[in-house]
């Protein structure tokens, strides 16, 4: 039986329906907003895998090309591996739901969301987030939801829920928020230097909309939900083992955590655990349970140090930033580069300038787009001293790169002022937390090193939170351990003026607005400190580009001439590029940009383009080339790709019997334009040109030494 609920969002019904499709899944919901539809499903294995020490949750989001009335590009003509948008949306779905599964639940769960209709007005990502939560709530799988999700924009100074794609284009804020009725769980935002207070206002506004969507999901669950799976959170808990591990850990764990250096601390903690395993004589299965107990003790000690003593495991105070060092122009052949080091986190960031041909084509449900700014983040295993498979970037790398790209991209100059394609690459060489924010800082420095006219520096800082009852510790510049055992991961990037990107994941309820306000205030103070350090390294963009970067000159031509510059099949523009060693970019509005590290080559290409675009003037004398001879005259190319008729009667003063008696194809002859009709066709005269400028006759003879003297009748 089909059941549905709906709420009104941004003037349209937002509906969730179950019972019609995908009925063999544990839970299946079709979410619709306008003409956009997403099918969200979930399935779980019936038996747990007790041998593993993690919760096996898989979240996949895919966009079907038919949803937008499109056929996929490429050879295979079918959807392949997930593109960046699908990966980022999968992360948006995963992050708020993962903490809501009960601790100790080991059944494999798979959530699959398919965008099956796209109206090119409403983004499917927020629909998928709500659909995944609703499907889980209907399934009976142990899940402490539901979770509501909404997008918040700011259009003309007013906050808007789930703005259309057109509204997003003019919005100064793009914030996606997810939460339960009691707490905000996740925030992902990009902004045009908005204030901390505006960001807080948007979070409060968005959470109110999330609550409405949570209530709608609960209503749907009451109508069509399956019985909840039995799951005893205390089952399998070995209290005797817990007591023995706790007793053996004792003060040794606290001493190990007091080691300030990351690897030294990890080795010391690991040594304590191995001693406990040896003392208790544990087998592999019991060792997994002991590991969980030990990890809980480690977390408790890390948190106790923070809330009771205000001291962190590396010895810093809660508001202290790790030492920062910056090396500019670290890579001699890159167009711009920086080596940004903060504590035990280090990012090698490079900037490369390219042309329009280097732009990335992105196929989307709402049409193709071209990206002129790309930021790619890499996290090799050696950065944390581990051995792992070395391959293509994972979801975490895609997500961190997108966050940094959002933070920096808003400050780039418009294409009309700086027509380069820009690629940033961040290779993390060391990592102990906050590598994405190190990437933001390194990207800003590298862009200025490359001479990109960035408006101002942008910096990022990662904040954390530890909350024990009424005691709260807000941490500045968190490390990996604090991220793992803390209650909130709060990344904020921006300028002195305001925030450009924000990412927040909260693991507990009860994080009040005042705590968020305090965290944002501390983040701003830390950001200003980092910005000052960056300005010491480089205050403003370098006045000159790298000698290895392409230079450019932009000219404007009449759009009607674009076809002539491109030529049939691109023949003409390719010839210009081959002859001059340049790259030529042509815009639909008539802007032509020529790139080359060699300025002489640029000027040569510009001259060739201007020759093609020259307009023929009436009564002007030109030196043209004979392109074709016919019985009644010759066609002469006056300027590139523009020909006129030189009639046989206009070739010489005296009458000639045949055109070939005087002219041959390829001859260069002086002609005067004596007529241009309404269709642009030209009549030329050689005899008038030579009569008015006799000196041209000798020059013509020298250019065409094999030309015959015209016989007279």
What are the backbone dihedrals phi and psi of residue 80, each rounded to the nearest 5 degrees, phi first? -115, -135
Q: Of 2-6, 545-549, 620-624, which has the strongest mean pLDDT?
A: 2-6
Is the pLDDT confidence value at 713 over 60?
A: no
Q: Helix (H, G, I), strand (E, B), or coil: what is residue 434?
A: coil
Type and span of the H or E element at 6: strand 3-9
Q: Which tens digits make up the pLDDT trace of 138-157? A: 999 999 989 999 999 999 99
Contact 515, 463 (CB under 8 A): no
What are the backbone dihedrals phi and psi of residue 600, each rounded to the nearest 5 degrees, phi first? -65, -40
Q: How confident is the model at residue 598 (pLDDT cuts 50, 70, 90)?
A: confident
Mean pLDDT of 497-515: 89
Q: Which residue has the tokens 């003879």?
A: 701
Using a 10 angstrom Cβ sphere, with 0-12 exposed, 13-18 middle and 19 or more buried, the burial of residue 80 is exposed
**Length of the chain in residues, anyone?**
713
Type and span of the H or E element at 223: helix 196-224
Distance CA 440, CA 447 (A): 11
DSSP string computed for 315-384: S-BTTPPPPEEEEET-STTSSEEEEEEETTEEEEEEEEEE-GGGPEEEEETTEEEEESEEEEEE--GGGG
Q: How confident is the model at residue 486 (pLDDT cuts 50, 70, 90)?
A: confident
Which pLDDT score, from 0 to 100, does residue 710 have?
46
Q: Which of 612, 600, 605 is nearest to 639 (CA)?
A: 612
CA 516 centroid distance within chain: 26
Is the pLDDT confidence value at 208 over 90?
A: yes
Contact 449, 336 (CB under 8 A): yes
Spatial neighbors of 102 by CB under 8 A, at least 6 apart, are 142, 144, 231, 233
Contact 500, 410 (CB under 8 A): yes
Strands 158-161 and 471-476: unpaired
Q: Helix (H, G, I), strand (E, B), or coil: what is residue 629?
A: strand
Distance CA 580, CA 577 (A): 5
Q: Which residue has the tokens 């994405």?
A: 436
* Domains present along the chain, CATH in parentheses: 3-224 (3.30.230.70), 239-309 (1.10.10.400), 324-537 (3.30.230.70), 551-613 (3.30.1370.10), 621-703 (2.40.50.140)
Which pLDDT score, from 0 to 100, does residue 329 have?
96
What mean pLDDT value characterizes the chain? 91
Tokens read off for 336: 């711009």
Contact 644, 673 (CB under 8 A): yes
Between 279 and 446, name the one with better pLDDT: 446
What are the backbone dihedrals phi and psi of residue 550, each rounded to the nearest 5 degrees, phi first? -70, 140
Contact 304, 257 (CB under 8 A): no
- Min mean pLDDT across 11-15, 71-75, 410-414, 674-678 is at 71-75
Sequence-separated contacts (24+) of 44-49 with Cβ below 8 Å: 44/107, 44/108, 44/109, 44/110, 44/139, 44/141, 45/107, 45/108, 45/109, 46/107, 47/107, 48/105, 48/106, 48/107, 49/106, 49/107, 49/108
Q: Which residue has the tokens 């351990």?
A: 481
Q: Which tens digits make up the pLDDT trace of 342-376? A: 999 999 999 999 988 888 988 888 778 899 999 99
Measured from the Cβ of residue 286, the count of other Cβ atoms closer than 10 Å reads 14
Distance CA 711, CA 707 (A): 12
Q: Which of 429, 416, 430 is nearest to 372 (CA)?
A: 416
Q: In what order do the strands lie in the sheet with 345-354?
A: 324-328, 336-342, 345-354, 421-430, 373-378
Q: What percent of the chain has pLDDT over 90?
A: 60
Is the pLDDT confidence value at 711 over 60?
A: no
Mean pLDDT of 219-229: 95
Q: What percent of the chain has pLDDT over 70?
A: 98
Which pLDDT score, from 0 to 100, does residue 712 have?
44
What's this model's pTM, rounded to 2 decimal places? 0.84
């Amino acid at each position: 039986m089909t059941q549905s609920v709906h709420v009104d969002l941004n003037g349209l019904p937002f509906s969730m329906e179950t019972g019609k499709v995908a009925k063999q899944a544990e839970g299946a919901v079709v979410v619709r907003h306008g003409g956009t539809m997403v099918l969200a499903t979930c399935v779980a294995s019936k038996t747990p895998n007790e041998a593993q020490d993690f919760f096996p949750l898989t979240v996949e989001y895919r966009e079907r090309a038919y949803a937008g009335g499109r056929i996929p590009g490429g050879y295979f003509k079918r959807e392949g591996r997930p593109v960046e948008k699908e990966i980022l949306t999968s992360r948006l779905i995963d992050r708020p739901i993962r903490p809501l599964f009960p601790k100790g639940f080991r059944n494999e769960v798979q959530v699959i969301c398919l965008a099956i209709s796209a109206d090119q007005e409403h983004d499917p990502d927020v629909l998928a987030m709500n659909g995944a939560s609703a499907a889980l709530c209907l399934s009976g799988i142990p899940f402490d939801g539901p979770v509501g999700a909404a997008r918040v924009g700011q259009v003309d100074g007013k906050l808007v829920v789930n703005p259309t794609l057109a509204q997003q284009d003019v919005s100064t804020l793009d914030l996606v928020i997810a939460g339960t009725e009691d707490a905000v769980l996740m925030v992902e935002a990009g902004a045009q230097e908005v204030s901390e207070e505006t960001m807080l206002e948007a979070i409060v506004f968005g959470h109110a909309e999330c609550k409405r969507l949570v209530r709608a999901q609960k209503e749907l669950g009451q109508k069509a939900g399956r019985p909840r799976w039995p799951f005893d959170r205390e089952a399998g808990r070995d209290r005797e083992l817990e007591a023995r591990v706790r007793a053996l850990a004792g003060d040794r764990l606290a001493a190990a955590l007091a080691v300030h250096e990351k690897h030294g601390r990890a080795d010391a903690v690991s040594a304590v655990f191995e001693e406990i395993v040896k003392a208790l004589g544990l087998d592999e299965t019991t060792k997994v349970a002991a590991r969980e107990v030990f990890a809980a003790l480690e977390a408790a000690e890390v948190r106790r140090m923070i809330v009771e003593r205000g001291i962190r495991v590396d010895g810093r105070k809660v508001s202290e930033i790790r030492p920062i060092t910056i090396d500019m122009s670290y890579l001699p052949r890159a167009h711009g580069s920086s080596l940004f080091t903060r504590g035990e986190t280090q990012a090698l960031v490079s900037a490369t300038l390219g042309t329009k041909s280097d732009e990335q084509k992105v196929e989307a449900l709402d049409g193709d787009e071209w990206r002129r700014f790309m930021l790619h983040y890499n996290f090799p295993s050696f950065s944390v001293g581990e051995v792992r498979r070395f391959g293509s970037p994972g979801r975490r790398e895609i997500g961190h790169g997108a966050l940094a790209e959002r933070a920096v991209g808003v400050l780039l100059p418009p294409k009309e002022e700086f027509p380069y394609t820009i690629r940033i690459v961040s290779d993390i060489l060391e990592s102990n937390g906050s590598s994405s924010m190190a990437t933001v800082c390194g990207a800003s420095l590298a862009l200025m090193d490359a001479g990109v006219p960035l408006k101002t520096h942008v910096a990022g800082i990662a904040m954390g939170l530890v909350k024990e009852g009424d005691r709260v510790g807000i941490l500045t510049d968190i490390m990996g351990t604090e991220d793992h055992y803390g209650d909130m991961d709060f990344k904020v990037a921006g300028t002195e003026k305001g925030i450009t990107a924000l990412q927040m994941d909260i693991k507990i309820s009860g994080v009040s607005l005042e705590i968020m306000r305090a965290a944002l205030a501390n983040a701003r103070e830390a950001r200003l400190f980092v910005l000052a350090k960056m300005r010491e390294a480089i205050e403003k963009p370098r006045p000159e580009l790298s000698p290895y970067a392409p230079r450019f000159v932009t000219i404007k031509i009449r759009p009607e001439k674009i076809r002539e510059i491109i030529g049939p099949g691109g023949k003409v523009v390719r010839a210009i590029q081959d002859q001059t060693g340049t790259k030529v970019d042509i815009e639909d509005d008539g802007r032509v940009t020529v790139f080359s590290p060699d300025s002489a080559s640029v000027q040569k290409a510009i001259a060739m383009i201007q020759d093609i675009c020259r307009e023929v003037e009436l009564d002007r004398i030109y030196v043209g080339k004979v392109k074709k001879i016919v019985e009644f005259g010759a066609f002469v190319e006056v300027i590139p790709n523009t020909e006129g008729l030189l009639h046989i009667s206009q070739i010489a003063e005296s009458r000639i019997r045949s055109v070939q008696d005087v002219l041959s194809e390829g001859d260069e002859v002086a002609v005067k334009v004596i007529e241009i009709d309404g269709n642009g066709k030209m009549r030329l005269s050689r005899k008038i040109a030579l009569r008015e400028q006799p000196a041209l006759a000798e020059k013509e003879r020298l250019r065409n030494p094999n030309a015959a003297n015209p016989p007279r009748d």
